[in-house]
Amino acid sequence: MKILLIGSGGREHALARGLLADPIVEELHCAPGNPGIGEIATLHKIDISNNQEIVSLAEELQVDFVVIGPELPLVNGVADALRAAGFPTFGPSKAAAQIEGSKNFAKEVMNDAGVPTARSATCATRQEIERALDLFGAPYVVKDDGLAGGKGVVVTQDRDEALAHALSCNKVVIEEFLDGPEVSLFGISDGKTVIAMQPAQDFKRAYDNDKGPNTGGMGAYSPLPWAPSDIIEQTHREVLAPVIAEMAARGTPFVGLLYAGLSLTDHGIRVIEFNARFGDPETQVLIPRLITPLATLLYKAATRDLYGVELQWREDSAVSVVLAAKGYPSAPEFGGAITDIPTIADVEMYHAGTASSDSSLVSNGGRVMTVTGLGPNLTEARNRAYRGISHIALNGSFYRTDIALNASIAEMGN
């Protein structure tokens, strides 16, 4: 099978390795990719915000299958364009990707499907906004309806700040604050059947102890020894299956990866948000743990053939730590030389924001690398990830030192 993978982050590097580990794959192409992916796949420099460029590349290469990594092309409708041109595609249609592209749409789907989520109000006027803020009270949760690259949500005790953010949005969702640990749980769907993956937890704030600004994600780990033992079954039953059924009933089946961001509250699971694609950096801990051949799995989803498939997982734990460029997330510095990417057993080095310059490697994004350690438990996986990342030299770069720390301490106490 000849596959085209769209994207260029650490998530896509992990997907690329996963796809190539499946013997069904004969050729892997990636657009635009990054130098790490370029070591294992053929790269194509195209503009992935342009649907026609992606379709033309798929036609030129005569690929059998296309896998879409990031949300932007999905929300732009690239999956519709690819399917119309005859390519099996892993990734939802433009209509189905609205579950990520519009917070209000996601709320409507959840309400219609009876899926537990924070109570909310979608507001257009100042009067509606003020009424909703006072109804739900502090901490205030204010969400820009549209895609905002991780900058659309403000959670604050400060009513003035909440109001100011709400007024800056075109359409805004204001909701009840959910108190509980956050879990990411992904479902792979062919539009009818959905298969839940294992849960992961990610770390959104830039600095240790959850301090600093929100980011795209600074690290992740899986499995979650502290999570309820039935979390996969419960999330499948209460969240993933009803949403997939609702999307099908609306005539806009969801084919691809349904990412459920959950809060485990005292009153049970609540959905914080959905994404329409694999999460980054959760993918970098899930894919190395997955035994089930990835290309076959995603192809079955794309061709409506998932019924009866079960996932197999390694017993190993995985911990990923993101190396960020100086100034990330507000003003990351690009162009710094990256040296000393080591090869270590049970450590995966995933490129994200890297580029080649005069045959050397330089930083080219806020999140530069993701280093995943694998081991028989979180403590060993964590040690390997940190040993790996400590070798990488990039001026001014930083990483969190507390990824999976509490879970590792709790695990050692057991």
Interatomic CA distance for residues 162 and 34, integer angstroms? 38
| Residues in CB range of 96: below 8 A, 6 or more apart | 247, 252, 253, 254, 255, 256, 276
Phi-psi group of 86: left, alpha or beta (phi > 0 → left; psi -120 to 50 → alpha; rest → beta): left
Is 272 an interacting residue with respect to ligand ADP (CB under 6 A)?
A: yes
| Interacting span for Mg ion (CB under 5 A) from 118-126, 178-186, 267-275, 309-317 | 267-275
CB of 169 to Mg ion, least distance (A): 16
CB of 303 to Mg ion, least distance (A): 29
Burial profile 282-306: b = 16 or more Cβ within 10 angstroms, e = fewer: bbbbbbbbbebbbbbbbbbbbeeeb
User: Which residue, among 1, 237, 220, 246, has the nearest Cα to 109 in the 3D structure?
Assistant: 246
* Helix (H), strand (E) at residue 55: helix 51-61
One residue of 177, 207, 334, 398 binding ligand ADP per CB under 6 A: 177
Instruction: Please work out, in degrees rounded to the nearest 5, the angle formed at the alpha carbon of residue 135 by the alpha carbons of 134 and 138.
Output: 60
Task: Kindly tell me which of 228 and 261 has the beta carbon lying closer to Mg ion.
Answer: 261
| Residues in CB range of 406: below 8 A, 6 or more apart | none
| Interacting span for ligand ADP (CB under 6 A) from 175-183, 336-344, 375-383, 396-404 | 175-183
Task: Kindly tell me which of 117 and 363 has the beta carbon lying closer to ligand ADP.
Answer: 117
CB of 157 to Mg ion, least distance (A): 20
CB of 20 to ligand ADP, least distance (A): 29
Is 141 an interacting residue with respect to ligand ADP (CB under 6 A)?
A: yes
The three-class DSSP label of residue 171 is coil
Interatomic CA distance for residues 327 and 394, integer angstroms? 13
Task: Kindly tell me which of 266 and 358 has the beta carbon lying closer to ligand ADP.
Answer: 266
**In the stretch 142-171, what mask flags binding to ligand ADP with x, by CB under 6 A?**
-x------x-xx-x----------------
User: Which residue, among 235, 173, 165, 164, has the nearest Cα to 198 in the 3D structure?
Assistant: 235
| Interacting span for Mg ion (CB under 5 A) from 124-132, 192-200, 256-264, 329-337 | 256-264
**In the stretch 248-267, what mask flags binding to ligand ADP with x, by CB under 6 A?**
-------------x------
Binding residues for Mg ion, rule: CB under 5 A, are 261, 273
Binding site for ligand ADP (CB under 6 A): 118, 141, 143, 150, 152-153, 155, 175, 177-178, 182, 204, 261, 272-273
